[in-house]
Every structure is written in structure tokens, then in C-alpha cells.
Amino acid sequence: MQIRRFSADLKTKIPGGHPGLYGVPIQLDSAHLFTQNMEELALRLNGLPILLNRPMIVVSMYLEPHASMQYCGLPNSIIPYGLRMKNCRPS
């Protein structure tokens, strides 16, 4: 059994011009991986995510205080669940 840790110190910059936005992949669509080499995938993503044959991605997102995220208007839903903001205090 392999145990995978999810934490802010294992985050990866999210591409696409989103300043201060990082993520840790939890589940990916196996048909759309950037590589089919599982060792390379595990090294780049700090461990292997769950790989399924369905078009769905689950990511733990980390936002720094200055972060911004552009809405891209995709037809598929993006459901933010339990966003964790670094150094953020309730007002």
C-alpha cells in the first residue's frame, strides 16, 4: 500500500496565469496525462494521484493572500470545495 500526503509544502504551481494559486492533484483522468511514465508522473506530482478512466479532475487548491483565479467559462462545472487560504484571517 502506498500512502500519499497532501499538504501545502507539496504543492505545484497551477498553469494558466493564476498568480499565487497552487494545487495538489488527488484524482486525474488517465486518458489525458502529460506522460504515461508512472515514475515521471509520481516524481512531478509528489506521488501518484488516483487515475480513473473518466473526464474528472480533483485537486486540492492552495491560495496565497495575493492569489487570483481567472474564470475560463468552460461548459463543465468547477466546484470549489473547502478552499484553504494561507495566512488568511476572517473579517
Handedness of CA 55, 29, 61, 68 (dihedral sign): negative
pLDDT at 91: 38
Q: What is the helix (H) or strand (E) element at residue 55, kind and residue range?
A: none
The answer to whether the beta carbons of residues 28 and 60 sit under 8 Å apart is no
Compute the distance between CA of residue 18 and CA of residue 70 in angstroms, rounded to an integer. Answer: 7
pLDDT digits (tens, 9 = 90+) for 28-43: 999 989 899 999 988 8
Extract the C-alpha cell encoding 22. Answer: 497552487
Extract the C-alpha cell encoding 59. Answer: 485537486
The answer to whether the beta carbons of residues 28 and 46 sit under 8 Å apart is no
pLDDT digits (tens, 9 = 90+) for 48-81: 889 999 888 888 888 888 888 776 665 655 555 5
pLDDT at 17: 81
Compute the distance between CA of residue 59 and CA of residue 28 in angstroms, rounded to an integer. Answer: 9
Question: Where in the chain are the domains?
Answer: 8-85
pTM metric for this prediction? 0.63
